[in-house]
Structure 1
Amino acid sequence: MTPVEEHVIPRGGARLAATVVRSAERGPAVLIRTPYGRHNHLAEAHGWAKRGFTCVVVDVRGRYGSTGDFEPYANERADGATVLKWLHDNDFSDGRVFAVGASYAAYCAVVTALEGDLAGVIAAVPALGLGETAREPGGAARLACRLGWWAEHGGAPTARATPLPYSLEALPIREAFTTPAWQTLWDAPPLSDLWTELSTVDTPLLAVGGLRDPFLRHTLRLADTWRGPTTLVIGDWAHDLDTRSTLAGKRIGSLYTSWATAPPSRHSAIAVSSRFVLKAVRRAPPTPVMSTKREFQAEPTRPFPSRDVGVDLRCDAEREDRALAVVEVEAGVLAGLVDVEIEAVADAPDADWVFRLAVEMPDGSWPQLGNAVVRHKHTPGEPTTVRAEIGPVGAEVPPNSRLRLEIAGHHWPRHARNPHTGVDAVDATELLPSRREVLNCSLALPWSDGEPVEVIKEVGR
């Protein structure tokens, strides 16, 4: 039976609880620091140990077995340095340590790379800071996932069995909770100082993002910013990392161990759709798109709905609160970011522009390929140019297809409703309708020239 040990690590007035699952032979170690309960990672730890990696799982400060106050993102860097030194001092590895984590734990892994020598970092569906999780890169405020996370975890030493009550429709959003750091979340800058430092890190990185993960764009930014050898894998999965339908029936751990066995010495970028691993992309020049409906009214009391990637958008076919543009395309595989540019008019000083891209399939369905949300300042009534990047997308487009681009004013409840008053969506108490008109529209599509390969083998090469 694999040995399991319990330890306590003193750090800055707190006591950090650690569980160690040793491998049969001396080799590298994996460090996982989590706010979700270290014993919930025991199966993962045993999986690492069976593959020759001693696994150390630590509850972050103020959560589960660790004492102190849980202040999201406040202490993870300094605590990570202490834990890493403790791991080396206690001879748990042959000197090689991989920092590994998903979601919040991915942030813990990333900042540990700033504090000590690591053999590699694995950051999956990373949630990389307060401002980074609160708002989209385009400025729109996230709603459902932030209310849900803070209701379950904010200001608590463990996950709440009964989350704090909240309403997706209540205004203002800023007053939804009185839990510590909730106000700080909305006041945080969109990008922290962390990003400047990440450009100096030489450690090998495996960045794993999901086409249906809300934080996908920051996974791309992480891979672009990181200086060391970087492997980027984007697959058709959500934040829960259920990859069995896309990685030849294997779980995400197979990808991790394949990479950790031989982390690369060079950069490599791999984009994964539901069927393909695609490495070469040619971006087509912008294509004007035919508008079949140009004018609409964005009504925040009946906001345009958000849908997951892959959902058949025929469910919203009868809605009038969006513009629609279509473009005929040849067969091929789209893999990457879709650039969209519109010239448009709004009667509000501040407006959200939502873009949903779908493909019309031979069976009549319209599965969503990707979406984007951009918050834009306007001079009411005057035309302005709005640009966005949809996706990245990963999809096979059949012959004789059309792409459908919907342009709307809300993406609710995934994102907060823009009030059209110039007030930040998280502070709004008044909601007004907004008239919109799309004058021109163009798309630049990322067509892949790559050949399908087996992703796990490719990453482990």
Structure 2
Amino acid sequence: WARHGFAAVAQDVRGRHDSDGDWRPYTTEDRDGTATARWIRRRPWSDGRIVAAGGSYAAYCALTLALDAPGDARPDAVLAAVPVLGPAETAREPDGCERLYDRVGWWTAHGGRRVGDPSALADALTADPQLLDHLPVSDLPRRLGRPLPGWTALWEAPYGRLLDRAADATTPLLAVGGTHDTFTAETERLWSRWGGPTARLLIGPWGHGLTAQPGPDADPAHRLPLGPLYARWARAALADTLTPGHRGVVALGGSPLWLTTDSTAPGHALPLGGATGLRLLGGPRFTADPRRPVRSDELAVAPEPSDRALAATGPLPRPLDLFGPAEVRLRARSATPSADWVARLVAVDPAGHAAPLATGIVRRHHPPGGDAEFTVPLGRLARRLAAGTRLRLEIAGHHFPAHARNPHTGQDPLTATEQPPSERELIPEGSALLLPRLERGAFTASVDPVQEICR
């Protein structure tokens, strides 16, 4: 920032590093940010204009300053990179499924610590490889042997507070994310709901570390110098020279292209069990057993598994560009009153190597044995698949340890100690995978992401 003509102030949140007080995540950031913003505006070197910028948790700090602080402390622009939008948004999917592994990892690394310990979860799993299998989940601090302030409150926090406030925003926004980041969907929702005069979205084929964590589908054309881009956008935002409205640019993984969000393709249905869609491999029935859950960290699968329904396409006759939101529409039955439904889309190359494309999970409560129709969102796809690739769709009842196991009884997955199995049946008629398939020639050329963000 200083190299580009900005005075930069980095604030440690309360109770972290050199800041006084107790570290209680998400509780005092608006008040502390207000004090810092007022202090900055009183400095002789400040012209009064502030860009609140941060990544991950620091993005939450920037956003709560813009949306919750008194008017005299609010920034003039907000840059939110891979933003977390609050405790509930990090802990749960929109309909309640608990994001177990990521939250245990973050809380063991940072909860109750003045300085984070990135290896804390790995060390804990070395000491107890079954750490995440133990029940109840709420008992984790005792098993770790140290307190985790805020662990219980994390799961009780209300969902959507900052997103509900986003429409009232009055400042320009730049939201940055990665297609391999846990919070990509939240980043897009923030951008789409932002009420400020301008909102820009940049999504690359990156993980939570952005360009420092490129995905396997990243191209050299996706290695953006983010620092200069941020500074150029901030200058334009402060000068009020950005074109009003929402603009977004997303990298098409597996290609060198950057496309605008306006290029999003409509959904193309691939029926389950149909001659022109996905062929079922094995039967439509399976057992979701919490004692032997489908694992989120394994892609190997038996030809006719008993723990999931499996379907696949034939080899792609030509390259396929997928760009936009995907979803699975299901008709299904469960023998238990509560059931999680997981849809995992996998690309299998001609050599047989599998790579995850997207995963969605929803929680449904239906009378046992009755037909239910529902949708499992898969999020945004932005990927070019090579000719010869096969698409594999898995429908399961668990996605562990990424998500906590549903006990199937209607009890809270965090406090339940009994987890009976759940018999499931997929009904092919009326079930389909909807993919945002770009037709060749639907776009003419890649856009320049820097120009698109800063104009």
TM range (shorter): 0.7 to 0.9
State the distance in 2 between where 1:49 and 1:128 align.
Answer: 28
Q: How does 1:60-459 map to 2 (within 5 A)?
A: 60-114=13-67, 115=69, 116-160=73-117, 163=120, 165=124, 167-177=131-141, 178-192=147-161, 194-228=162-196, 229-241=198-210, 242=212, 245-246=218-219, 248-263=222-237, 264=242, 265-274=244-253, 275=255, 276-279=257-260, 280-290=263-273, 291-293=280-282, 294-307=284-297, 313=299, 315-317=300-302, 319-327=305-313, 331-399=319-387, 401-440=389-428, 441-448=431-438, 449-450=442-443, 451-459=445-453
Q: Give the RMSD, CA atoms, in angstroms.
A: 2.2
Residues 386 and 151 (structure 1), Cα distance of their counterparts in 2 relative to 1, 3 Å cut? same
Task: Work out the CA distance in 1 between the residues paired with 2:232 and 2:313.
Answer: 40
Distance in structure 2 (CA, Å) of the matches to 1:103 and 1:283: 31
Counterparts of 2:157 and 2:330 in 1: how far apart (Å)? Answer: 30
Instruction: Give 1:32's aligned residue.
Output: none
Deviation at 1:248, TM superposition (A): 4.0
Q: Percent identity?
A: 40
Residue 131 of structure 1 aligns with an amino acid whose one-letter code is: A
Q: Secondary structure at the match of 1:127?
A: coil
Conservation of the 8 A alpha-carbon contact between 1:101 and 1:123: yes
- The answer to which structure has the higher strand fraction is 1
When residues 168 and 140 of structure 1 are mapped into structure 2, their CA distance, relative to the original with a 3 A threshold, is same
Asked if the contact 2:288–2:308 (Cα under 8 Å) also holds between the matched residues in 1, the reply is: yes
Residue 340 of structure 1 and its aligned partner are, at CA, apart by 1.3
TM-score by length of 2: 0.84
Check conservation: 1:271, 1:336, Cα contact below 8 A.
Answer: no
For the 8 Å contact 1:338–1:444, the answer to whether it is kept is: yes
- Following TM superposition, by how much is the alpha carbon of 1:160 offset from its aligned partner in structure 2, in angstroms? 4.2
Distance 1:426 1:258 in 2: 45
Q: Deviations over 1:324-343 (max 9, x none)?
A: 22346664311221021100
Deviation of the 1:185 alpha carbon: 0.6
1:257 Cα shift?
Answer: 2.7
> Mind listing any 5+ residue stretches in structure 2 that lack a counterpart?
126-130, 142-146, 274-279
Task: Supply the AA of the counterpart residue of 2:39.
Answer: W
1:233 is paired with a residue whose SS is strand
In the aligned structure 2, how far is the partner of 1:251 from the partner of 1:424? 45
User: What is the rounded CA distance, in whole Å, between the counterparts of 2:271 and 2:164 in structure 1?
Assistant: 37
In 2, Cα distance between equivalents of 1:248 and 1:434: 44
Identify if the C-alpha distance between structure 1 residues 347 and 224 changes in structure 2 by more than 3 Å, giving closer, same or farther: same
Q: Deviations over 1:192-216 (max 9, x none)?
A: 3x32221110211111122221122
Report which of the two has the higher share of helix. Answer: 2
Q: Determine if contact 1:139/1:375 at 8 Å carries over to the other structure.
A: yes
The CA deviation string for residues 220-270 of structure 1, in whole angstroms up to 9 with x for no partner, is 211122112111122211112225655543453244234223233331022
Q: Is the 8 A contact 1:345 1:436 kept in 2?
A: yes
C-alpha contact 1:63 1:70 (8 A) present in aligned 2: yes
Read off the aligned partner of 1:78 and give its amino acid letter. Answer: R
Question: How many residues matched?
Answer: 408
Deviations 1:269-326 (A, max 9, x none): 222232321221221353423233311111111211114xxx9x4x334554111223
Q: How many Å apart are 1:162 and its aligned residue? A: 7.1
- Deviation above 6 Å: which 4+ runs of structure 1? none
Shift of 1:401: 4.6
Paired residue type of 1:456: V
Q: Aligned letter for 1:270?
A: V
Query: For residue 3 of structure 2, what is the aligned residue in structure 1?
Result: 50
Q: Distance in 2 between matches of 1:358 and 1:163?
A: 30
Give the CA deviation at 1:171. Answer: 1.0
CA distance in structure 2 between the aligned counterparts of 1:317 and 1:211, rounded to whole angstroms: 28
1:423 Cα deviation after fit: 1.1
